[in-house]
Amino acid sequence: MKPRMLSLLVSLIISALLFIASLFLLDNWQHAGILSVIVFLSCFVLFIMAIEVYLSKRISLVYKLISNLKIDKDLKQALDNKISDDPLNQIEREVSQWAQRKAIEIDTLKRISDYRKEFLGNLSHELKTPLFNIQGYVQSLIHGGMDDQKIANSFLLKAEKNIDRLCALIADVDVMSKLDTGEMPLKITSFDIVALIKEIAFTLDESTKAKNIKFEFATTDKRIVSADKEKIAQVVANLLDNSIKYGKPNGTTTMKFYDMGKQILVEVTDNGQGIEEEHLSRLFERFYRVDKSRKSQDGSGIGLAIVKHIINAHQQTINVRSAVNLGTTFAFTLPKAE
């Protein structure tokens, strides 16, 4: 039996005994006043308890209504199973928990909304820049540029470069989307990561010559890893390309390889301009650029985001450390082939 019901039953028994006692004491006028007070207090107690029972029932209904409105299943189950003898305190406690969870949920949704707005704004900017450039070159050709063969050829080449940039951006966004949804499964094979990086470095020879940047390898020994070779090639290409873009002229990019037991740690280090610490935590975000003025330069702006997704898909880690005017190091791990 619940304590509230037990208290009510006891009160009823006491009131009944008092009423019976009053039948024997009515002829004694000296006790009439005391008896009246006792009867009044008993009736008052009964009245208060009746009000409590009524309010408890109403509060319990509100309590269950609130619990049914909650999304969290665990919390809802707790509410259904924890109707205590003090419903007001229980409601206050559980509604407070609900409000806290809702505040966290609202804050999460707000951050997602802000991220979505920023992403769409950045994507729109990245798309508009090459499109406006193409539009300008084509309009110039239409309005007389074609009459000068030298100018026509120059504008067509520039338009082609912007078309290539636009295609690269769309391709990167498509890759990002497939990585997000898991539509791009990994094709795991065993290969030498040192040899792969050398191959990619060779294809960037023209870019390195333009800034006189040298690629150096700390070792030429084989490092056999188990991973998706094509996707890891994309990771390496992005990192080496970054080291060229943001490296100092006549600088050096060094590749180091460490045997970590079950993993191989790969480091790509340049001695370029470096990155301020405040930017490091956001470096792998889509379209995030350390220098906002570089938004118009070559590149999709999501290269490092793709790098992180690919490494995460391999259940490995990637991190970055940097110092201004000293250089930047990207380090990632890959599972060693068995």
pLDDT tens digits for range 25-42: 555 545 555 555 555 556
Residue 273 dihedral angles phi and psi, to the nearest 5°: -75, -20
Predicted pLDDT of residue 50: 63
Predicted confidence band at 80 (pLDDT cuts at 50, 70, 90)? Answer: low
Q: Are strands 214-217 and 252-259 parallel, antiparallel or unpaired?
A: parallel
Q: Are 291 and 160 in contact (CB under 8 A)?
A: no
Pick the CATH number of 188-335 from 3.40.50.300, 3.40.50.1360, 1.20.120.530, 3.30.565.10: 3.30.565.10
| Range among 15-24, 42-51, 63-72, 235-244 with highest mean pLDDT value | 235-244
Structure tokens that stand for 196 in this block:
């792969």
Chain segment 317-332, per-residue pLDDT in tens: 999 999 888 899 999 9
Residue 283 pLDDT > 50, yes or no? yes
Mean pLDDT of the 73-91 span? 55
d(CA 28, CA 22): 10
87-101, 208-222, 248-262 — which is least confidently predicted? 87-101
Residue 22 pLDDT > 80, yes or no? no
How is the chain split into domains, by residue range?
Answer: 3-104, 125-181, 188-335
- Measured between its terminal Cα atoms, the distance across the chain in Å is 67
- CB neighbours of 237 closer than 8 A, spacing ≥ 6? 200, 203, 204
Taking the CA atoms of 94, 97, 103 and 105 in sequence, report the sign of the dihedral they define. Answer: negative
CATH topology of domain 125-181: Helix Hairpins (1.10.287)
d(CA 62, CA 314): 50
Other CB atoms closer than 10 Å to residue 124's CB: what's the count?
10
d(CA 56, CA 7): 14
d(CA 75, CA 97): 9
Q: Does residue 252 or residue 71 have the better pLDDT?
A: 252
The partner residues of 189 in beta bridges, in order of sequence, read 227
